[in-house]
Every structure is written in C-alpha cells, then in structure tokens.
Amino acid sequence: MNMTANSKKAPVWRRLIQLTFRKLARATDHEAVVEHAREEGGLTGRYVFMVIMACAIAMLGLLLSSPAVIIGAMLISPLMGPIVLMGFSLSILDMQALRKAAVSILVGTVAAIAIAFFITLVSPINEATSEILARTRPNFFDLLVAVFSGLAGGYAVITRKGETIVGVAIATALMPPLAVTGYGLAVGVMPVAGGAFFLFMTNLLAIALSVTVLTRIYGFGANHSPRHTLGQTGLIIAVFVALSIPLGLALRDIAYETQVTNSVKSELLVPFEDTQSRLGDVIVGFPTNDTVRVDATILTRERVAGAEGQLQDSLAARLGRTVNVNLDQVLIDRDVALEQAAILQLAESSLAAPLRAEINRIETLAEVRRTEAELRNAVPFELAGADIDPEAHTATFFATRQASYSVAAYRAIETGLAANFTNWTIRVVPPIMDLPLIPFETGQTEITPVGAQSIETSIWALERWEVANLEIVGYASTSGALQNFNNDALAYRRAATVADILMEQGFVATPIGEFRAFSQSAEERQLGYQRFQSVLIRPAPQRPAE
C-alpha cells in the first residue's frame, strides 16, 4: 500500500509550483479585484474623451516623427481598463464582463481611428514618417512588448500597484497602431491601414491573453463569476480559441518573414565574393503572399554585371516564391567624393536612412588614408617596408641599406615625424650600420655630454634592431700614454664605463680594451687622432650551438 501511494505522488517540482500558486491565491482579495476590473473596464464618457485625446496627440507625434509627443499620448490613454477586463472575463468565465469589455474596446477603437483620420485630412503634413512606417507590420519584438505589457497590466490590477505606469506600456503597444490605421485610411493607402490594424489586433489579443494566463496563476476562475452556465462556459472558451487564431497566424507570419530575411541576407553577397563587398541597407518586403521584394545596397569595389538576375534566380529556388531584387551597387575606395554623393542621394530616402552612418565611416576611412599618404610622403629616405595600422594609429618605417643617413639622422627623422603626427606612434628602423663612436677627453674615463648623446642614439638604434648582446670596445691614443702609462687599462676602463650604462638599460655588454703601441701611431695618422680617444659599440658575434 505504501509503495502504491508513493508511486502516485506528484513530482517535487510540480508540488512546489502548486504550493506557490496556492499561496498567491490566498494572498489575493479576488472579489475586490474582480469588482475593480469591472468598474475600470466599462464604457463611460470620460473613457471615450480620453481615448480621442490620446489618439489625437499620438497622431500629431507620428506626423512630426516625435517620440516624445507619442509618449505624452500614452500618459493619458485609458485603454488598459477594458483590455484587462477582457482578460479577467476569459479567466472567470463571465460572459457579461466579456461583452462589456468588447463594447468598450470597439467604441474606443472606432473613436481613435476617426480622430486620426480627421487630423490626417486637415493636416498640411501627411508624409509617411519613420515612426509611421515602423508600425505597419507586426514583428517579433512588437509581440514581446505586448506580452510583457499584458503580464505587467494583470499584475498591477491584481496587486493594485502601479496601474497608471503600466497603462502607459499597454498604450504604447496599442495607441500608435490605431493612429496609423486612421492615417492609412485618410491617405488611401490600404496596406498601411491594414498592416497597422493587424498590429493593433495582434497586440490587443496578446495583452488580453497574457492577463488571462496571469489571473489563472493567481487563482481566479469560474467560481468568481456571479453566474455561469455550461453554455456560457463553452462560448467563452470558443471566444478564447477564436482570439488565439489571429495571434497564431501573426506568430506564423513573423517566423516566416524572419526566416526569409535571414536567407536573403545570407545570399546577397554571393555574386560579390571576389570584390571585398559588404551589405549596406537591406529591406525585405512581402507585397503579396507569393512574392518577396528585396531592396538592398551593396558597397563594392567593383560592379558585378547581372547580379540582380543571379540573386533573383537563386533566392526564388531557395524560397520557392517569386523574388524581385533591386540592387544599388555603390562603388567605394575609388573615388570617395563620388561614393559620398551616391550614398547621400540614397540617404535622402526614408528607406535608406541607415546609410547615413556609412557616410561617416567612409569619411573616416578617407581621412585615415590621407594621413597614411601624408606619412609616407613625409619620410625622406627610401623605404624597404612599412607597417601602418590605422586603427591603432601606429606606423613603423624600415629604411633600405642604400639610404645614406647616419643613425643620429634617422633618430631625428623619427622625432620630427612624431611631432608632425601627434596622434600616431611612429618608429623608424634604420638599416644595420656602424653606431656612433663615444668620444672621451685625452687620458679620461668620464662620459662627456657629446658622449652621453652618442650613447642615447646607440641605445635607440639597438632597440629598433632588437639587439641585446653587445661588445663594448675601448680605445686609447698613443698621446694618452704620456699622461697615463697603462693605455691598455685606460681603454678597458672606458669600455667598462659605457658597458655599465648599457647594462642598466637591460643590455648584455662585454667590455674590451684595445691598444697596440707599435702600430697605432700610423693608424692614428691615417684614421685620425680622435678615433682612438673613443669607445665603439658593436653587436656580439653569434656563438655556434654546442
């Protein structure tokens, strides 16, 4: 017996959900909430007046393309009351409440469309703005707004908290589509009117059904209706199913259009694979059930003849429908001025407004390329190579071996470039060459100011060459022997002084002293006396691998 009883117990997660729902139901004053919903959802003169005012303000905001004005209309819209009542009536199976809510919604809908129709007729501005075009077809995000608004509306009514603020969210999903419906009727564009009204109905049903689901979670049911019969229950369930059909159709259409749009975007660049092209503006329309229209802008380095026909055939085969493709191929990176003019012409159309951002990108690209050209022209020596990164604003220039500048001259060129191009990090890599000698006074081992500058220049070059192991060769002239009787030691001490400085900078420096008294006098006459009053820095020879 115990085993049988335990086997029939519900899973833990289900019992937890049931317990949570019971707690929510016990904490709710169902009778008071239902009564409040009936009062707020009825048809009154104030309700009709506020619907007319809200839609009038929303219509003006749509014509002016002003989101701030549209939001102002939402603040006074009373649509939340009857829609919430409809959701409650489906939950508690109250036919009278459902009829009351339907009448209120119907009268409010007619009044809103009528005032929008009248304002459009008398208005000197009746162009389709971006705010109007955005509300001519339902999409997935519109549906999400409606669902979340319905859940928030139901929660606000049940808990009696924040009803005014939540009413704004509900009106946001409903009032603008109603105004656009009146606009479409006034200008005689039935696809606009029909699409906007379908968006309104989709959002209305999503909100009402969301309220229904939430009220069932909070324990509202048939026992909260004053009277109900089996026939009423069946009728309300039929209404619930009927209301779900348009919502299901909207979901099907949204899913289909999203799939088609993704397929179109994945195919558009196929004819341009070898031209380094990219997508600009892409608009996918559905003028009929069997036709898809594609308007797209392709930014390309080279025009591709027959691209439209190729895309029409491939998309028609992939989608199984007639596809009309209209391509604007805009050339880039050849004549920037011509490209900007073409994009500006497209951007004047409301359908191509997103291309304005592409204009800024092209202007930035042109400026970067001008700077690159100026950088190259500012380099006075022949280049063996250059590494320019416009995004990081870094440039490295490699000099050829034929260039006849000294190491100090290359360093001065780098300093000058950095001063003229302050937003860039510039490096000049000189060819491998002899480093400047570090001079010393006769018989001395202290670094002179000229010697210190030569060391700094040598360090700069060694870092550019990425050389770390060095030999520091010190010299002493024959005249130095008159003041210092050990010229070998003098040469070594000079090398050690320079080596110490280089090792502080992270180099591996080996000091070497060189002095040959028997042959050096002749070399001094040939090479110059000062040549043997100095220190030479040279890369250490590579040791063979053992």
DSSP for 439-489 reads E--TT--SPPHHHHHHHHHHHHHHHHHT--EEEEEEE--TTHHHH-S-HHH
CB contact at 8 A, 130 and 66: no
Beta strands at 291-300 and 278-288: parallel, antiparallel or unpaired: antiparallel
pLDDT given at position 490? 82
Query: Residues 202, 78: contact at Cβ < 8 Å?
Result: no
Q: Give the phi and the psi of residue 537 in degrees, each rounded to 5.
A: -105, 130
Q: Strand 322-331: give its sheet, edge to edge.
A: 278-288, 291-300, 322-331
Specify the 3-state DSSP secondary structure of 331: strand
d(CA 58, CA 73): 5
Q: Which of 207, 140, 182, 156 is nearest to 51 (CA)?
A: 182
Cα–Cα distance, 158 to 324 (Å, whole number): 51
CATH code at 438-539: 3.30.1330.60
What is the value of pTM for the model shown? 0.47
Q: CA gyration radius for the chain?
A: 41
Burial class from Cβ neighbours inside 10 Å (0-12, 13-18, 19+) for residue 304 reads middle
Residue by residue, pLDDT tens for the chain (546 residues) are: 444 444 455 676 666 666 665 655 555 666 777 777 777 778 888 889 988 998 999 899 888 888 888 877 777 778 788 888 888 787 777 778 888 888 998 999 999 999 999 999 988 877 778 788 777 776 667 777 777 877 777 777 777 665 555 555 565 668 888 899 999 999 888 888 888 888 888 778 878 888 888 777 777 765 555 555 555 556 556 666 665 666 666 667 777 777 888 888 888 778 877 666 777 777 777 766 678 888 888 777 777 777 888 888 888 888 888 888 887 777 665 444 445 555 555 555 444 445 455 545 555 555 556 666 777 777 878 877 778 777 778 888 888 876 568 888 888 888 888 888 888 888 998 888 888 889 888 778 889 888 899 999 999 999 988 888 888 888 887 665 444 447 778 888 888 999 999 999 889 988 887 755 545 666 666 566 666 778 888 888 765 544
Torsion angle of C-alpha atoms 335, 341, 345, 348, degrees rounded to 10: 130
- State the DSSP string of 265-295: HHHTTGGGTTTT-EEEEEEEEEEETTEEEEE
Domain residue ranges of the chain, discontinuous segments joined by +: 11-257, 268-363, 379-429, 438-539
- Does domain 268-363 sit in CATH 1.25.40? no
Q: How far apart (Å, rounded) are the C-alpha atoms in residues 9 and 299? A: 64
pLDDT at 345: 55
Q: Where are the alpha helices (DSSP H) in 93-227?
A: 95-122, 130-133, 140-159, 163-187, 190-217
Q: Are 386 and 396 in contact (CB under 8 A)?
A: yes
